[in-house]
Amino acid sequence: MPKSYGTTFTADMVLAILSGRKSMTRRVIEKIDMYKNIKPGDEIYVKEAWQTRENLDHLKPSELPTDCEILYRAGDIPIPLPRKWRFGMFMPEWAARIRRTVVATRVEKLQEIITEDIKPCPFCGAEAQFENCWSGYSCDNLIYITCSNIECRVGPSTDAYKTKRTVVKYWNRRVSQRLTEWR
Ligand SMILES: [Zn+2]
């Protein structure tokens, strides 16, 4: 049974979706996240900045009549009123104007794990290495991890910590995203 999922987008993104320029979104997977559950065949609807007419401004989204007029921030409706927009995250499903059918999802790891201990530099792919802080500084006896490639254009390094275990934990942290494509 296909399900329907609300997804928040900024006004720029909404315009890109409406014009057909945008047909996918990448979202970081959190521990509890609806993006894990989205499957091809499901529907996503766009939650975007919106308004009702002024006489309904005092009402919560759940109190609004579901046939009331909705004004969308992304679009060609000139709204000269100096009024605040309602946040997309509070848009009820019935107020959404954009619906798309999901055709594909996949998890993309931002970086591949190459070594078991320290992952490579996420920017140049070179090995990363432990470094000791110079003695005499406040971080004496602390260690950090840095990219070993002197030609690395970024040269990332962690903060300094007491144990290798801690510093590896921070260096090796990579986020995954899930891609959702629609038509
Ligand atoms: Zn590097």
Range of the domain at 143: 115-172
Ligand 1 centroid vs 177 CA: distance in angstroms? 22
Ligand 1 centroid vs 146 CA: distance in angstroms? 8
Looking at the fold, whether 63 and 145 belong to one and the same domain comes out as no
Ligand 1 centroid vs 159 CA: distance in angstroms? 16
Domain termination site, one of 39, 71, 101: 101
Looking at the fold, whether 93 and 129 belong to one and the same domain comes out as no
Looking at the fold, whether 13 and 97 belong to one and the same domain comes out as yes
Looking at the fold, whether 50 and 122 belong to one and the same domain comes out as no
Kindly list the distances between the CA atom of residue 151 and the CA atoms of 60, 120, 159, 173, in Å, as whole numbers in the listed order.
Answer: 56, 14, 21, 23
Q: Say how many domains are in the chain.
A: 2
Looking at the fold, whether 67 and 24 belong to one and the same domain comes out as yes
Residue 179 covered by a domain: no
Residue 110 covered by a domain: no
Q: State pTM to two decimals.
A: 0.58
Ligand 1 centroid vs 147 CA: distance in angstroms? 5
Domain termination site, one of 55, 79, 101: 101
Looking at the fold, whether 86 and 127 belong to one and the same domain comes out as no
Looking at the fold, whether 136 and 158 belong to one and the same domain comes out as yes
pLDDT tens-place values along the chain, 183 residues long: 889 988 888 777 888 888 888 888 777 665 456 777 888 999 999 999 898 988 999 999 999 999 999 988 887 565 555 677 888 889 999 999 999 999 988 776 654 433 447 888 888 888 888 887 765 555 567 888 988 887 888 989 998 888 888 888 899 888 888 888 888
Name, in order, each residue with C-beta under 8 angstroms of 160's C-beta and a sequence gap of 6 or more. 133, 139, 142, 143, 144, 167
Residue 14 covered by a domain: yes
Beta strands in 29-85 (DSSP E): 43-47, 50-51, 71-72
Looking at the fold, whether 97 and 130 belong to one and the same domain comes out as no
Residue 168 covered by a domain: yes
Residue 10 covered by a domain: yes
Read off the DSSP letter of residue 121: P
Ligand 1 centroid vs 174 CA: distance in angstroms? 15
Residue 88 covered by a domain: yes
Ligand 1 centroid vs 128 CA: distance in angstroms? 8
Ligand 1 centroid vs 112 CA: distance in angstroms? 14
Ligand 1 centroid vs 125 CA: distance in angstroms? 6
Ligand 1 centroid vs 144 CA: distance in angstroms? 15
Ligand 1 centroid vs 135 CA: distance in angstroms? 25
